[in-house]
């Protein structure tokens, strides 16, 4: 499997100068297995999260042997047949583009279950993994079972798909899809979750995978710690990855460029507690404990990839 180059010692990796080169990962052309991006603890310099992104052609097969990792299989675009544990799913998928409207379906795979996936069409597939937690199960969630949340208002309005939120039964992994209209901000106000101090804050590594509704689209992500020992701003483009090992991490989509990102998180405990940057806490206009369900397609980007 293709892997990103090692970045060596963790302290060196996430300390300026040059931190942005390690937090921002550009996609590659598909290798022989269809891999365009791979991040694991060895290449990221962290402890929990592994994510592989595949860009597959019809008939291409992905296999993952059984191991001690919990995994999420997410068919972001296109359709595939998937088997894992005792499940055999003939047609997994919900859309041609992430901007089509429905949520991605979710397949949670318990540690000890192998995976076989065969692309039925051109497909973008993500397999995320983390060490197994206290819950161990394999289950499939169709798009209709996924909560769609309308979060924020005005220039912070965005749409969230709760693929695998902390209230859903799983061992370690947390996952969301976020749609940010051009001109708006998300992961906002800036917040962090790098300290294990429940129920105030949880230590969670976070992974962002980006798509843009227009191929020339771009956005900006900042990752910074309270003491500014890490403070990097990055320009992200289609299929880029940003790693958030520590710190606050807001994202902005320039006018005209509707953005999508997939968030994958994991840490020592499966809880989503975070701390808002006190300088920007006055901008908080949504409640993490009371998500507002969105029942229509309002706010969806109009353009398709």
> Could you say which architecture CATH assigns to the domain 23-283?
Sandwich (2.60)
Looking at the DSSP bridge assignments, the partners of residue 259 are 180, 212
Q: In this predicted structure, what is the pLDDT of residue 202?
A: 96
- pLDDT band (50, 70, 90) for residue 20: low
For the cut 70, the answer to whether the pLDDT of residue 10 exceeds it is: no
For residue range 25-49, list pLDDT tens digits in order.
999 999 999 999 999 999 999 999 9
- Residue 16, burial from CB neighbour count under 10 angstroms (0-12, 13-18, 19+): exposed
pLDDT confidence of residue 231: 96
The domain ranges of the chain are: 23-283
- The pLDDT, as a whole number, for residue 290 is 81
- Reported as a single tens digit per residue, the pLDDT across 185-239 is 999 999 999 999 999 999 999 999 999 999 999 999 999 999 999 999 999 999 9
| Distance from C-alpha of 73 to C-alpha of 104, rounded to nearest angstrom | 10
pTM score of the predicted model: 0.90
pLDDT of residue 19: 56
């Amino acid at each position: 499997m293709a892997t990103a180059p090692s970045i060596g010692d963790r302290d060196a990796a996430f300390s300026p100068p040059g931190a942005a080169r390690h937090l921002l990962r550009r996609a590659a052309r598909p290798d022989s297995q269809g891999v365009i991006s791979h991040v694991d603890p060895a290449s990221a310099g962290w402890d929990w999260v592994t994510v592989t992104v595949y860009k597959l052609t019809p008939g291409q097969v992905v296999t993952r042997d059984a191991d001690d990792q919990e995994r999420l299989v997410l068919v972001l675009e296109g359709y595939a047949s998937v088997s894992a544990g005792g499940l055999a799913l003939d047609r997994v998928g919900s859309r041609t583009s992430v901007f089509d409207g429905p949520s991605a379906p979710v397949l949670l795979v318990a540690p000890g279950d192998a995976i076989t996936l065969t692309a039925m069409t051109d497909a973008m597939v993500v397999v995320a993994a983390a060490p197994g937690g206290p819950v161990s199960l394999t289950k499939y969630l169709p798009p209709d079972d996924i909560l769609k949340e309308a979060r924020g208002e005005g220039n912070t309005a965005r749409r969230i798909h709760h693929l695998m939120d902390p209230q859903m039964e799983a061992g370690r992994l947390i996952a969301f899809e976020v749609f940010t209209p051009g001109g708006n901000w998300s992961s906002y106000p800036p917040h962090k979750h790098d300290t294990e101090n429940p129920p105030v804050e949880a230590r969670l590594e976070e992974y962002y995978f980006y798509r843009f509704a227009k191929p020339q689209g771009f956005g900006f992500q900042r990752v910074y710690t309270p003491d500014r020992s890490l403070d990097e701003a990055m320009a992200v483009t289609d299929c880029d990855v940003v790693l958030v090992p520590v710190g606050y991490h807001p994202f902005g989509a320039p006018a005209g460029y509707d953005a999508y990102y997939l968030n994958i998180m994991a840490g020592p405990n499966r809880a989503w507690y975070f701390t808002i940057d006190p300088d920007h806490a006055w901008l908080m206009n949504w409640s993490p404990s009371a998500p507002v369900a969105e029942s229509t397609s309002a706010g969806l980007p109009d353009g398709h990839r």
